[in-house]
Amino acid sequence: MARLDRVCVTGASGFVGTALCRSLLARGMEVTGVVRAGQTTPFPDNARYRQFAAGDIGPATDWAETLENVQAVFHLAARVHVMHDTAADPLAEFRQINTAATGHFARTAAASGVKRFVYVSTIKVNGEETHGGDKFAPSDAPAPQDPYAISKWEAEQELHRIAAETGLEVVVVRPPLVYGPGVKGNFARMLSVVARGYPLPLAATANLRSLIYVENLVDALIACATHPAASGQTYLVSDGEDVSTPDLLRRLAAAMGVPARLFPFPLMLLKLAGALAGKSAQLERLLGSLQVDSDKIRRELNWVPPYTLQQGLQATADWYRNRQHT
């Protein structure tokens, strides 16, 4: 699987999907980008890129035309984790898209002659946090705790069953928090808070968290699609440098040329305030640790992140500042 000419990327209009398509095209590959109806990517249809609007991806989606002559698939599309889910049965909704639809897609891919299926899962399959300097590893017993993570773990298991039945080469990648230009969600809110100079009671936080810059993740995904040793494996990926929340805030502030306004506050009182405000989960991501051991992918695929954490943070800060001035 050393050379790829034609690939398919689901979730192509998303944060990671857009970066992945851009890198694949830059490497001379032909790319089919799958998006939901009404969404688009910044790439014009041409001889090397075509866009496929799949509507709502589900267990009955017709993939045959999309997968024609495709050698490898990058499956990023998913029902993502939401803080306030209004579904009557959230787990059933997650399973419909993340588990059943993924299985259907993989079986169609195998029947269409696709050789390799790279599945972007989540570190949440391993669990929500680490303790005492321990790091999550691919060999750890999975411990998903919410419907999103459960559905992703079940999808991983289904993919390995399909691989055993069909010979499809499955590779699973579980990234931690992904950041970079175009980032949304909590990281984008963090950038906004730092840029506005709001004081934050996080100076006493002594946690450590693994992150991955989007361009590093893209590079790892392409390695997983091309390296012969990746078939059948599960990899955890990170930038390779873990960082505490206050250090992350200070680095972002320095990258944006603004002061980091941090002050110490008793963590127990902070957690109590978060619980009373119904923000315990969000606060735990700021106060808790989540460290990833990425040694396996480095050792087996000779993969080294092309960018450092500092380079990734600077690129993200530059993007944010430029966006504010346009």
Q: SS3 of 30, please?
A: strand
Q: Write out the H or E segment, with its range, that includes residue 31.
A: strand 30-35
Q: Which residues pair with 34 in a beta bridge?
A: 10, 52
User: Is 320 annotated in the active site?
Assistant: no
String of b and e for 278-317 (b: at least 16 CB within 10 Å)? eeeeebeebbbbbbbbbebbbeebebebebebeebbbbbb
- Interatomic CA distance for residues 139 and 136, integer angstroms: 8
- Interatomic CA distance for residues 94 and 77, integer angstroms: 12
Contact assessment for residue 216 and residue 237, using Cβ atoms and an 8 Å cutoff: yes
Among the listed residues 148, 179, 307, 320, the single catalytic one is 148
Q: SS3 of 25, please?
A: helix
State the catalytic residues: 148
